[in-house]
Amino acid sequence: MKEKKSIFFCQNCGYESAKWMGQCPGCHEWNTFVEETVSEKKAGKRTSSASGRGEKDLRPKTLSEIDLTAGHRMETGIGELDRVLGGGIVKGALMLIGGDPGIGKSTLLLQVCRELSDKGVHVLYVSGEESLQQIKLRALRIGTFTDNLKLYCETDLDDIQRVIENDKPELVVIDSIQTMYNEAVSSSPGSVSQVRETTAVLLRMAKTLQVPVFIVGHVTKDGNVAGPRVLEHMVDTVLYFEGDRNQSYRILRAAKNRFGSTNEIGVFEMRSGGLEEVKNPSEYMLDGRPEDASGSVVACSMEGSRPIMIEIQALVSRTNFNFPRRTANGTDFNRVNLLMAVLEKRARINLSQSDAYINITGGVRMSEPAVDLAIILALASSYKDIPVPADTVAFGEVGLSGEIRSVTMAEQRVREAAKLGFGKVILPNACMRSLEKLQGELKIRMYPVRNVREAIDCMLR
């Protein structure tokens, strides 16, 4: 019998080593190596009917010989998901969707299966975690399904591959990749080598059969998909499902997309009947705003091509300790400290003896520099205890000298603010050149500012 040997894998990048190391030479992360037993027996070359059902075409092709009609997109029927995917599902694409347990990954994919099966698309849903009865119970909460959807509960990858080749579905869902088992790999399911080799088999099958495949991946405590990072490099699209389980909203982001933009987001709301699309996220995020409360300012942030209005709240209070406390929820903590230093230096607002708390409502996380101006105004409003008018929107990047710098897509931001009924917008003076044609077209007053002092004076008007 062939002896088995142990190999150490990096859980972050998949680097292999014959011995354990504290720091990975590939990704330079610490304490990421795990030991796995690998058999020296090599798997024989398997002749599969997926290899083209005959001789392979080894002749290279020119660009003019490639037919793009075979790669058309298949719309899922869920507009927010289609937006994130870039317009729909591409044939032969391998798509990874990750998220916290219970966030709604399986629910979303089951709704996709329902929408496509209603259109006559043959869908195969493979589950390695739930039984057929459990899937049906969840399906009954979502709605009615046609016979175009077929369910299969199995973890053996060879059996799944044979079912796909024989059944010839037009869409495959694998839930989840950590439960799949490849007999050619001796390690246990969910290990680094199992996840990597299983994904490689699914990738070859998707490209050869031209069948789009969704695979569900669990995430670690850091928010990354469990397994080696090479998994994200192998797939065509990486989607992350974000949100707080205690709140009803869900946000779908694309961390990688070979067939579309990675800046788009999809907003959903979890209800008893499944996930429902949020057509206008701005109205949803601003629902329940306090009236005549200091420290509350509405900012406009761009997510891809979509402007979203978000409420930024600040609370500045006198501290009772030698070191004031700083807290930021929903934005970068270091960026908030930088903006507070600018506010002290350039606007003469002394925050060294005050605690400061910043919160972006709705649980949304924003990192765009365009929200800098709104954070500055919220801090100044709370410090002076002067409410900002409820019909005011602010956007702009703040520099270390206190200057307000221009941001992209200023016209889309102003139009969105006017559409939602806001009457006043505080924006960088450098953006006014691209907004001259809107001054007579929209019923909204624009106040251009050059620095933080002008912005605070404009806020007090």
Tell me the sheet residues that pair with 355: 317
Binding-site residues from annotation for ATP:
99-106
Judged on CB neighbours under 10 Å (0-12, 13-18, 19+), 288 is: exposed
Q: By the 8 A CB rule, do 127 and 80 touch?
A: no
CB proximity list for 327: less than 8 A, separation 6 or greater: 333, 356, 357, 358
Q: Assess if residue 99 is contained within a domain.
A: yes
Q: Which 3 state secondary structure label does DSSP give 319?
A: coil
Same domain, 254 and 304: no
Both 82 and 158 in one domain: the answer is yes
Confidence category of residue 53, pLDDT binned at 50, 70, 90: very low
Residue 44 lies in a domain: no
Residue 49 falls inside a structural domain? no
> 124 near 173, Cβ under 8 Å?
yes
Say what the pLDDT of residue 52 is.
Answer: 43
Which residue, 263, 279, 295, sits at the end of a domain? 279
pLDDT at 45 over 50: no
Whether omega before 176 lies within 30 degrees of 0, making that bond cis, reads yes
- CB atoms under 10 Å from CB of 58, counted, come to 5
Residue 349 belongs to a domain with what CATH number?
3.30.230.10
309 shares a domain with 271: no
237 and 294 inside one domain: no
Q: How many domains does the chain have?
A: 3
175 and 245 in a single domain? The answer is yes
Quick check: is 103 in a domain?
A: yes
Asked if 267 contacts 48 with a C-beta cutoff of 8 angstroms, the reply is: no
Do 269 and 316 lie in one domain? The reply is no
Do residues 111 and 133 both lie within one domain? Answer: yes
At 245 the pLDDT is: 66
Residues 339 and 194 placed together within one structural domain of the fold: no
Let me know if residue 68 belongs to a domain: no
Asked whether residue 321 falls in the same domain as residue 417, the answer is: yes
Structural domain includes residue 66: no
243 and 330, same domain (yes or no): no
Cβ neighbors of 78 (< 8 A, separation 6 or more) are 108, 111, 112, 115, 277
DSSP letter (8 states) at residue 354: E
Question: How much is the pLDDT for 392?
Answer: 94
Which domain CATH number covers 94? Answer: 3.40.50.300
pLDDT exceeds cutoff 70 at 364 = yes
Residue 267, both tokens = 């907003």
End of a domain among 279, 299, 314?
279
Express each pLDDT in 302-327 by its tens digit: 987 789 999 999 999 999 888 899 99
Instruction: Give me the mean pLDDT over the 434-444 stretch.
Output: 83
Q: Residues 446, 451, 457, 459: is their CA dihedral positive or negative? A: positive
Tell me the pTM. Answer: 0.76
Q: Which two tokens stand for residue 51?
A: 């290899």
DSSP tally for the chain: helices H, then strands E:
11, 23
Which of the four pLDDT bands, split at 50, 70 and 90, describes residue 47?
very low
Contact 358, 328 (CB under 8 A): yes
Q: Phi, psi (5° rounding) for residue 73?
A: -85, 150
Q: Of the candidates 220, 253, 279, which is a domain's last residue? A: 279
Per-residue pLDDT averaged across 120-149, rounded? Answer: 93
Q: Residues 238, 313: one domain?
A: no
DSSP state of 5: E
Task: Write down the mean pLDDT value for the chain.
Answer: 86
Give 287's pLDDT tier (boundaries 50, 70, 90): confident
62 is a domain residue: no
pLDDT digits (tens, 9 = 90+) for 275-286: 999 888 888 788
Q: Is the pLDDT of residue 451 over 90?
A: yes
The strand order across the sheet containing 237-242 reads: 149-153, 123-127, 171-175, 213-218, 94-99, 237-242, 249-257, 265-271, 274-277
Indicate whether 234 pLDDT > 70. Answer: yes
Which secondary-structure segment (H or E) carries 445? strand 445-449
Residue 170 has pLDDT above 60, yes or no: yes
Query: Is 250 within the bounds of a domain?
Result: yes
With pLDDT > 90 as the criterion, what percentage of the chain qualifies? 54
Q: With a cut of 60, say whether residue 1 has pLDDT above it.
A: no
Is 247's pLDDT higher than 60? Answer: yes
Per-residue exposure over 232-257, b if at least 16 CB sit within 10 Å of its own CB, e if not: beebbbbbbbbbeeeeebbbbbbeeb
Same domain, 263 and 289: no
Annotated binding site: 99-106
Domain range spanning residue 227? 74-279
